[in-house]
A = this chain, B = another copy of it.
Amino acid sequence: MKIAVINPNATESMTRKIAVAARAAAASGVTIEARTGIGAPASIEGHHDEAMAVPALLAQVREAEAAGVDGIVVACFDDPGIGACRELATGPVIGICEAAVKAASMIATSFTVVTTLPRSVPIIEEMVRRYGLSHQCRRVRSAAIPVLALEEPGSNARFLVRDEILRAVEEDRCEAVVLGCAGMSDLARWLSEETGVPVIDGVTTATKFVEALVGAGLKTSKIGAYAAPNPK
């Protein structure tokens, strides 16, 4: 099985980190093909960056399809362009927000999301509502760090994330925590050990859910909204 894991932003170091997480999660026999949004913004911080990243993402989806992948992970927590990706794809496509919050809903009665910037909070709240999980989401919090701070060696970003998780457990009475940024995928295990609460990384869970859907023989439905784009 071959899964494309696409980082929709242009930052290669983030793609490498995401690839590490996806490969660590992948079952034996599953090949992870990591892809970068060439020409996209360096990080996706808000609606504008997200919108500007989608064409490059769709180009990667087309290439991945041409290369015969079985399924696709979109590795940005804003789940950019998922509907469009699904129109282009044969196999399943899942964004890391959808994967992570649905995973959380399977192992806990409630969860809190901890993301990077405050401006992403309403975007994530809206996604959680779209996925039908507002009643299980205690709160969406931000650790008030720029996305790329997670890439800087020696940054204290990981401690800020940890502290926000500890506040979430204390104040929100949540039973699990979802990491709200692909750039946090290397921190999940450490954060879980530090805080004692299940900490869920979207790259890992999305990779596993695509594996699962492919393994279950499921492909994106082509009889409605996700049919191939109409020719122009």
Contact = CB atoms under 8 A, between A and B. Distances in A.
Given A106-B94, A119-B224, A215-B25, A230 B134 contact: no
Nearest to A205: B216
B119 A216 contact: no
A121 to B, nearest CB: 7
A36 interface: no
A48 B84 contact: yes
Interface stretch (A12-20, A149-157, A158-166, A206-214): A206-214
A189 B229 CA distance: 26
A176 to B, nearest CB: 5
Nearest to A147: B230
Nearest to A200: B218
Nearest to A61: B48
Contacts of A204: 216-217
Interface in A189-205: 189, 196-198, 200-201, 204-205
Given A132-B135, A146-B230, A230-B146, A106 B209 contact: yes
Contacts of A35: none
A129 B135 contact: yes
Given A49-B229, A83-B123, A132-B135, 17 more contacts: A28-B29, A43-B232, A45-B230, A46-B227, A51-B54, A102-B102, A106-B213, A107-B218, A107-B220, A109-B122, A109-B225, A119-B230, A125-B135, A189-B217, A208-B215, A211-B215, A212-B212
5 contacts: A48-B58, A106-B213, A110-B122, A129-B135, A134-B135
Interface of A: 25, 27-29, 41-43, 45-52, 54-55, 58, 81, 83-84, 86-88, 92, 94, 98, 102-103, 105-110, 117-123, 125-126, 129-136, 146, 169, 173-176, 189, 196-198, 200-201, 204-205, 208-209, 211-213, 215-221, 223-227, 229-230, 232
